[in-house]
Amino acid sequence: MSELLKEKFMVVPGVFNPFTALQAERAGFRAAYLSGGALTSSMGIPDIGLISLRELSDAVRQIREVTDIPLIVDADTGFGNALSVWRTVRVLEESGADAIQIEDQKAPKRCGHLEGKELIDAEEMGQKIRAAVDARRNALIIARTDARAVEGMEGAINRARKYYDSGADIIFPEALLSRQEFSRFSKSVDAPLLANMTEFGKTPLIDSSFFRKAGYRYVIFPVTAFRAAALAVEHAFTALASDGTQRGIITSLMTREKQYEIIRYHDYELLDRQISSDDVGAGRRRRTRLTGK
């Protein structure tokens, strides 16, 4: 079973491409969350179930190519019915997912913090979870419930219990409204729990220390990195459009040296020299270091 389940408490940042995954690893995080909201926004489309399983699996593979950090993957509604979920889990785990999150919304799904969500029946979600558990080899299955906004706290708690009984490893209650609700949920659901600390949504900003004390196992910050990067790009483009130069923002830019350090540019240069010198053994050792495998 994944090392993720052995952790007592983890803060997990959202990433949306290989570079941000490398940054998360360098910052000392022990896992990363491939956020559907951040990934789709980086593609220029909303998070309403528009991307395909193949696009998601390609994103997972690209991240896995550069880092072995444990990766939680947001698979939305699982791309269809229970049989589709079975294939989704097989494909994503093969691509490198360590945990796969499936939610109980009807398709097309909505962002968890927007109005107008609709849910599938709890029994249908249970079938999806059982299919996911049957398909997985080592990946954890995370069951997200959006029931708080549709059926209230009692409905969310009841669904969470059913989902855990169906075999989910982790329960994710989406869009709770207060510390009190998070505490009530934790006391009512005897399962490893994941909390979502997205910005500008229905949930107030709460320090991760609260969740540790309240008994949660994971806290994700799914879109924080994307929003920070998006605003930085907006500021940079505004400056270029108005000034015609980057001089005024140069101190806000990552240096070439730091950029190359993150992507291990000089390791690839060394690998190239070793391959060119026909030192096959050294090249194989360097490739092992580059991929982390």
Same structural domain for residues 9 and 96?
Answer: yes
Residues written for the chain: 293
Encoded tokens for 234: 């907006």
Amino acid at 14: G
Does 9 have pLDDT greater than 80?
A: yes
Same structural domain for residues 204 and 282?
Answer: no
The rounded distance, in Å, linking the Cα atoms of 100 and 71 is 9
Helix, strand counts (H, E) of the chain:
12, 8
Same structural domain for residues 183 and 277?
Answer: no
163-189 tens-digit pLDDT: 999 999 999 999 999 999 999 999 999
24-79 tens-digit pLDDT: 999 999 999 999 999 999 999 999 989 999 999 999 999 999 999 999 999 999 99
Nearest to 33 by CA among 160, 144, 129: 144
* Per-residue model confidence (pLDDT) at position 112: 59
Q: What is the mean pLDDT of the segment spanning 190-217?
A: 96
Please report, rounded to a whole number, the percentage of residues in the chain having pLDDT higher than 90: 85
Among residues 222, 241, 264, which one ends one of the domains? 222
* Per-residue model confidence (pLDDT) at position 180: 98
Q: Which long-range contacts (CB under 8 A, 24 or more apart) does 262-271 make?
A: 262/19, 262/22, 262/23, 262/26, 263/19, 263/22, 263/66, 264/290
Where on the phi/psi map is residue 174: left (φ > 0), alpha (ψ -120 to 50), or beta?
A: beta
* Per-residue model confidence (pLDDT) at position 278: 65
The rounded distance, in Å, linking the Cα atoms of 293 and 288 is 5
Alpha helices in 74-116 (DSSP H): 82-95
- CA dist list (Å): 57 to 44, 94, 101: 18, 9, 13
Same structural domain for residues 171 and 287?
Answer: no
Same structural domain for residues 184 and 124?
Answer: yes
Q: Has residue 47 been placed in a domain?
A: yes
Does 131 have pLDDT greater than 70?
A: yes
Nearest to 95 by CA among 146, 34, 148: 34
* Per-residue model confidence (pLDDT) at position 107: 82
Does 279 have pLDDT greater than 70?
A: no
* Per-residue model confidence (pLDDT) at position 292: 53
In angstroms, the first-to-last Cα distance of the chain is 18
Encoded tokens for 32: 């990363």
Q: What is the CA radius of gyration of the chain?
A: 21
Same structural domain for residues 215 and 258?
Answer: no
Does 151 have pLDDT greater than 90?
A: yes
Cα 39–Cα 43–Cα 48 angle in degrees, nearest 5? 65
Does 206 have pLDDT greater than 60?
A: yes
Nearest to 105 by CA among 193, 42, 180, 36: 36
CATH code of residue 59: 3.20.20.60
Q: Has residue 232 been placed in a domain?
A: no
Going by pLDDT thresholds of 50, 70 and 90, the confidence category of residue 293 is very low
Same structural domain for residues 155 and 266?
Answer: no
Does 282 have pLDDT greater than 70?
A: no
Average predicted confidence (pLDDT) for the chain:
93
Same structural domain for residues 210 and 82?
Answer: yes
Q: What is the mean pLDDT of the segment spanning 150-169?
A: 97
Q: Has residue 258 been placed in a domain?
A: yes
Q: Has residue 185 been placed in a domain?
A: yes
Does 219 have pLDDT greater than 90?
A: yes
Going by pLDDT thresholds of 50, 70 and 90, the confidence category of residue 122 is very high
Among residues 222, 238, 267, which one ends one of the domains? 222
Number of domains in the chain: 2
Same structural domain for residues 78 and 200?
Answer: yes
Same structural domain for residues 135 and 269?
Answer: no
222-273 tens-digit pLDDT: 999 999 999 999 999 999 999 999 999 999 999 999 999 999 999 999 998 8
Same structural domain for residues 216 and 272?
Answer: no
Amino acid at 283: G
Q: Has residue 239 been placed in a domain?
A: no
Amino acid at 174: E
- Domain containing 193 equals 3-222
